[in-house]
Structure 1
Amino acid sequence: MFQSEHRQDKSCGRAGSHSLVCEDDRCGSVSRQLSTFDDFRNAITAYRLPRVLIAAIELNLFTAIGTQAWAIPDLARDMKVSERGLAILCRILAMAGLLKKQGEIYRSSRLGATALNARHPAYRGDYLRLITSHWADWGRLPESVKSGLPLDHDELDEPDYRRQFTWAMHHRTLETAPKIAAQIGLRDARTLLDLGGGPGTYAMAFLTKNPSLRATVCDRPAALDVAKEIASTHKAAARLSYLPLDILTEAIPGIYDVIWYSNVLHIYSPQDNQALFRRAFAALNPGGRLLIQDAFLHDREGLFPEEASLFAISMLLFTERGNTYSAAETRAWLTDAGFERIKVLRMKKGTEDWEGGILEARSPETNKKTPVLRTGSVKHLRPRSLS
């Protein structure tokens, strides 16, 4: 999950804490190929409901409603907005299932009253702020198409932003990480490195599933501070350690049975990733496993799945050299680095982060270390994307 260099990172330590790009930019997808003007029009006007949802978040509507029942006049007075505007907004939110309407009275759904309500412990504020910021960012897409550079590329990464982004990535993966960890067998593993692990959400999920495992989360110091806060409330915290590292320029210290590299690949260039694979190879025990979770393209032309294609736009907007890559080209990079037995790990439908999104590669049983090449430092931009 290294926060990406995206300016997700508005980007990452450099490690993948997740691209500061919202991996959930994938929500806007094309359900079929556009062949008529009506298809084209319908695809464009799909912006309407997302904009309604963002407006509700910007107005703190779910926090205002809380767990109470409201008539529109009373709620409008409390929020200091117009009755007409609020009535229309609430009706659409009720249509979408986020509010419950009975006559003239509105209440929040369970989701609205918890994850979207700033007064509730389950509130996911940092992630919501990241999502809403993407509306304006995507509106500036022509700038990046013309320049080939990320938005605001001259802005340096800020520790406070990285902290917020790291919390956002934790909120994003709370449900997904345990589902993934439950399906990846680590019975014979004793040590795991969460490379670019951000908040350590996946590391903690693997520790919970595997009582004999010890894990290390590697990322920038600001991200690791968040990981420590999260782990402090977890029973497995004693088996988790922390490694501050610039993964693009420094060798990985230590030797591990498993390296988990989640939502970091897309932040970097092919050359950066190939160098990083060589470093990972050198840090694995013979027969060790490198597990890569990312938005892989799987068809011959590199167009699908749709989510993976669309996520490349986030990389254009928020990273200097990032992109989404095909499973085939990633497999070739891994082979060149010395890995073998490379395959896609299939997760149960509905549990995966990305469709066909986990590649497994193994170090040979008799591991001959390859030289670790160093690359030049990359300027830390502010990540912004959702990985």
Structure 2
Amino acid sequence: MSSAITTFEEFRDAVAGYRLPRVLLAALELDLFTTVGDRTWTIPALAHEMKVSERGLAILCRNVAMAGLLRKKGDRYSNSRLGATMLNARHPAYRGGYLDLIKSHWTDWIRLPESVKSGLPIDHDTADDPDWRRRFTWAMHHRTLDKAPAIAAQVDLHGAASLLDLGGGPGTYARAFLAKNPKLHATVCDREAALEVAREIAAGDPAGRRLSYLPLDFAKDPVPGTYDVIWYSNVLHIYSPADNQAIFRRALAALNPGGRLIIQDALLHDREGLFPADASLFAVSMLLFTEGGDTYSARETARWLKAAGFRLVRSLTIKGKTADWEDGLLEARAPGPRPEKPARRSRPRESSRRR
């Protein structure tokens, strides 16, 4: 949304924005892109293959083609490049984990009034399921596959010997930093179910030999070891202000003198805390899925960092099309001199504690 809604027609158009997303989700739910594959189809042949009506499929395919995800020539349809690869379950580039998460969000968002009334996530009475955690971790890997190398190429870690990916899930960012910095060692800290996925992903990666794993409830427990850099990416929004401030204090205690905490998140930047729009809308997801999460302004996050004892808080600039979030990186330094030589890394043992 690029401008304020001031007329009924603009309101109508904004509400009607659900139409194309629902068409695309229906295409995913019906395995349209996987069925089309690398072939060219008429509607009757494709409808027979998919076991759906010709009328319904003709209207669906017309709209998917209008969106550019199918190609239409005469009465025949074929996949676009994106449809044939990342949306096609038979292709190695398939992003199924993240696509499954997107599909589930449609029904989750329908339940928004429940969370607005209660202030609680929609499934607040359901215990964290390791199988769900694994699926979510794969989704986060698929979400960041392209972003992580682009961001790692722009965040200067020269001179750093050790990095902690705090709440790092699949370790996608940690491995991207390792690939960019051959002398770096990294540790991914998260729930054990998430770390199982991280180990699977890193198994075929030569940089994985420089990667360690730390199961830890860092929202409650001290972080063992010391590091030159702590990467805190897409975790800030999961926790309440009080929880994040406590995590910042634990992070500071785990940094070498002059070390850096780098935060990547959906940060708000205007005075009233409304924009960017994606950051504001992402707070709705936090209402639906977390006990106390939200999206926060860069200004208040910097204030929390300084209160925790950090110094020299500043924004980091990432090229717009490669950024995970618009103007979404903050860096804060621990007190003390910046190490001229890489500090010796203290590698924690894997513990049995879980977050």
Normalising by the smaller structure, the TM-score range is: over 0.9
Q: Which residue is 1:76 aligned to?
A: 47
Residues 1-387 of structure 1: matches in 2 within 5 Å? 30-365=1-336
The separation in 2 between residues aligned to 1:133 and 1:116, in whole angstroms, is 16
Q: Which amino acid aligns with 2:3?
A: R
Q: Which amino acid aligns with 1:31?
A: S
Q: Which residue is 1:23 aligned to?
A: none
Per-residue CA deviations over 1:224-245 (Å, capped at 9, x if unaligned) read 0110111111110110010000
Per-residue CA deviations over 1:34-87 (Å, capped at 9, x if unaligned) read 001111011000111000000000001111111111000000001000000000
The separation in 1 between residues aligned to 2:242 and 2:159, in whole angstroms, is 32
The separation in 1 between residues aligned to 2:336 and 2:123, in whole angstroms, is 46
The separation in 1 between residues aligned to 2:199 and 2:289, in whole angstroms, is 27
The separation in 2 between residues aligned to 1:253 and 1:114, in whole angstroms, is 41
**Across the two proteins, how many residue pairs are aligned to each other?**
340
Stretches of structure 2 lacking an aligned partner (at least 5 in a row) = 339-353
Structure 1 stretches (4+) deviating beyond 3 angstroms? none
Q: Which amino acid aligns with 2:171?
A: G
The separation in 1 between residues aligned to 2:253 and 2:300, in whole angstroms, is 21
Per-residue CA deviations over 1:310-336 (Å, capped at 9, x if unaligned) read 111001111110000011110010001
Per-residue CA deviations over 1:175-233 (Å, capped at 9, x if unaligned) read 00001000011111000000000000000000000001000000011100110111111
- What SS does structure 1 have at the residue aligned with 2:268? coil
Stretches of structure 1 lacking an aligned partner (at least 5 in a row) = 1-29, 368-378, 381-387
- What SS does structure 2 have at the residue aligned with 1:350? helix
- What SS does structure 2 have at the residue aligned with 1:311? helix
The separation in 1 between residues aligned to 2:322 and 2:34, in whole angstroms, is 29
The offset of 1:251, in angstroms, is 0.4
The separation in 2 between residues aligned to 1:131 and 1:293, in whole angstroms, is 21
Q: TM-score, normalised by structure 1?
A: 0.87
- What SS does structure 2 have at the residue aligned with 1:292? strand
Q: CA RMSD in A?
A: 1.2
The offset of 1:349, in angstroms, is 1.6
The offset of 1:31, in angstroms, is 2.1
- What SS does structure 1 have at the residue aligned with 2:326? coil
The offset of 1:124, in angstroms, is 1.3
The offset of 1:284, in angstroms, is 0.2
Q: Which amino acid aligns with 1:296?
A: L
Q: TM-score, normalised by structure 2?
A: 0.94
The separation in 2 between residues aligned to 1:275 and 1:236, in whole angstroms, is 32
Per-residue CA deviations over 1:20-40 (Å, capped at 9, x if unaligned) read xxxxxxxxxx22100011110
The separation in 1 between residues aligned to 2:29 and 2:2, in whole angstroms, is 28
- What SS does structure 1 have at the residue aligned with 2:52? coil
Q: Which amino acid aligns with 1:245?
A: L
Q: Give percent identity, aligned residues only.
A: 69
The separation in 2 between residues aligned to 1:198 and 1:207, in whole angstroms, is 16
The offset of 1:366, in angstroms, is 5.5
Q: Which amino acid aligns with 1:139?
A: I
Q: Which residue is 2:344 aligned to?
A: none
The separation in 2 between residues aligned to 1:303 and 1:94, in whole angstroms, is 34
The separation in 2 between residues aligned to 1:57 and 1:326, in whole angstroms, is 35
- What SS does structure 2 have at the residue aligned with 1:314? helix
The separation in 2 between residues aligned to 1:248 and 1:96, in whole angstroms, is 43
The separation in 1 between residues aligned to 2:328 and 2:224, in whole angstroms, is 27
The separation in 2 between residues aligned to 1:242 and 1:153, in whole angstroms, is 28
